[in-house]
Amino acid sequence: MLFNIHTHSEHSHDAQAKIAELCEKALAEGLVGFAVTDHCDCECAANPKAFTSLTDSFEDCQKWKARYQGRLVIACGVEIGEALYDPAFAEKVIASRPWDVVLGSVHAVRVPDWEMPFSLIDFSDFSDDFIRQYLHVYFDDLKEMAKTQDYDVLCHLTVPLRYICGKFHRTVDLSEYDGKIDEILKTVIKRHKTLEINTSGCTAERSLLMPDEAILDRYLAFGGNNLSVGSDAHVANRLTNGLRQAAAMLKRKGIDELTYYLNRSPVFCSIE
């Protein structure tokens, strides 16, 4: 009984999935449902499509939500990236439609000259010291986002590692950031938000969860108990990628309930 809190449709600039395909895949895989959470990249606020692509996503999602009613729970959401770059735009987007769920994400950080999304940066030639500084800014930005911005689910904590370590094979000692990470976790708990376990880095060979088990253990130790799983699928055949691995890991830790959102209110479903 899994609900996928995080997917992208063709209304995201970097995704291809039609919502109809996501629906059929979700039924075939036996999901309770999923949220469509197309990108709102606040650094692109000046581009008129930044706003209209989201209203298009919302209208499209509403249509499929109605068609699959009774068979699938479909949440119409949005993934706000870099709210700190343009908080007014983030607020405008959130207020513009009755979203079911708002994801809070950081995909780019305020490092001078390197403010583009980290997915576009080649980290292979940077010094270890630059990467350390870069990650400090990532956790600082995420911490500020977590504390000051409007969201329901804090997404893919530690996601730069997917590129820095996964793609460019650089070594990172995460313990240096423990203090900042703990502050983010405590903020999520204090503000009654939900922490996403993002499975987009999982492959057949390895299960790279974001955040990893060590961080999840600290979240639980601090009293956190609102968790979602999200595959961050950009194509329909990755809809359930890693979700069952994540759910099995959560069950081993004694967690038997996941959180999703409708009308921006939490709904709890048991992991079976």
* Residues found near Zn ion in the complex (CB under 5 A): 79, 105, 232
> Minimum CB separation from Zn ion for residue 201, in Å?
12
> Minimum CB separation from Zn ion for residue 103, in Å?
7
Token duo for residue 55: 């209203």
Task: Provide φ and ψ at 108, rounded to 5°.
Answer: -150, 145
Task: Identify which of residues 100 and 232 has a Cβ nearer to Zn ion in the complex.
Answer: 232
> Minimum CB separation from Zn ion for residue 187, in Å?
18
> Minimum CB separation from Zn ion for residue 39, in Å?
7
> Minimum CB separation from Zn ion for residue 82, in Å?
10
Instruction: Give the other-Cβ count within 10 Å of 166's Cβ.
Output: 14
> Minimum CB separation from Zn ion for residue 270, in Å?
25
Task: Identify which of residues 194 and 257 has a Cβ nearer to Zn ion in the complex.
Answer: 194
> Minimum CB separation from Zn ion for residue 254, in Å?
28
**Separation CA 55–CA 78 (nearest Å):** 10
Task: Identify which of residues 87 and 222 has a Cβ nearer to Zn ion in the complex.
Answer: 87
Count CA within 13 A, CB hemisphere, residue 59. 5
Task: Identify which of residues 157 and 250 has a Cβ nearer to Zn ion in the complex.
Answer: 157
Task: Annotate the chain with DSSP letters as a single string.
Answer: --EEEEE--TTSTT----HHHHHHHHHHHT-SEEEEEEEEEGGGTTSHHHHHHHHHHHHHHHHHHHHTTTT-EEEEEEEEE-GGG-HHHHHHHHHHS--SEEEEE-SS---TT--S-GGG--GGGS-HHHHHHHHHHHHHHHHHHHHHS--SEE--TTTHHIIIIIIT-----GGGGHHHHHHHHHHHHHTT-EEEEE-TT--SS----BS-HHHHHHHHHTT---EEEE--BSSGGGTTTTHHHHHHHHHHTT--EEEEEETTEEEEEE--
Task: Identify which of residues 77 and 251 has a Cβ nearer to Zn ion in the complex.
Answer: 77
Task: Identify which of residues 154 and 247 has a Cβ nearer to Zn ion in the complex.
Answer: 154
Task: Identify which of residues 70 and 198 has a Cβ nearer to Zn ion in the complex.
Answer: 198
Cβ atoms 25, 241 nearer than 8 A: no
Task: Identify which of residues 23 and 78 has a Cβ nearer to Zn ion in the complex.
Answer: 78
> Minimum CB separation from Zn ion for residue 100, in Å?
16
- Which residue's CB comes closest to Zn ion? 105
